[in-house]
Homo-oligomer: A and B are copies of this chain.
Amino acid sequence: MNYPNGKKGTIAKYARNKQSATPNQAFSNRGMTLEEDINETNRYYLETNKAIIHKKPTPVQIVKVNYPKRSAAVITEAYFKQASTTDYNGLYRNKYIDFEAKETKNKTLFPLANIHEHQLTHMHSIIDHGGICFLLIRFTFYQETYLLPAEKLFKHWDDKLKGGRKSIPYEQICLEGYKIPFQYQARIDYLAIIDKLYF
């Protein structure tokens, strides 16, 4: 596997999930967004009756709606609202699952500004009440996706609040997170990692 920034040596040693370097580049997935990959994966989970996990609809403040005769209602004025929770939740093996997904073009770090404070509060609550909570982070430049357990994220967030750095270095995510290999069917099979971590 080649890392375009020439860091091959240092990064490879952090890459836990070696089998992710699949020989079939058809799985390399360029062009699909993380959201599309997750939606595909969740659809596969649903079809195979493995898990029931959905993306929540985008929160929208609806202001004006027209009701034309004999056709569907049209929303003609609406605004995006900030989400107060994470984007995805559901049920897997009797457990409540909750996660947020973020892509970054950054090559060296994941900016914590990508996560809102109320989302972090929400994630803390999920853990407190016995749910499974994590972050899926994609570094688009490397086309790598990592699962970072919420507990690891909290540590970095707390560091930030204490005046520490406002981001998580890429190398740290390689170390503390779990790389999700691209696959043909469950494109990013994050539940395989959840199986290992929580069951």
Contacts and interface: CB of A to CB of B under 8 A. Distances in A.
B80 A73 contact: yes
Given A72-B79, A79-B74, A94 B51 contact: no
A58 B56 contact: no
Interface string A43-81: 000100101101011111010000000001111111111
Given A56-B57, A95-B96, A96-B96, A75 B73 contact: no
Contacts of A196: none
Interface in A120-173: 122, 125-126, 128-131
19 contacts: A52-B129, A52-B131, A56-B56, A56-B57, A57-B57, A57-B58, A58-B60, A60-B62, A60-B78, A73-B79, A74-B77, A75-B75, A75-B80, A78-B78, A91-B129, A91-B130, A93-B129, A95-B96, A96-B96
A85 interface: yes
A84 interface: yes
Contacts of A56: 56-57
A75 B93 contact: no
A143 B90 CA distance: 32
Contact of A72 (B76, B80, B91, B130): B80
The 10 closest A-B pairs by CB, nearest first: A94-B130, A75-B78, A57-B59, A96-B96, A91-B96, A57-B57, A91-B131, A91-B129, A52-B125, A60-B60
A11 to B, nearest CB: 36
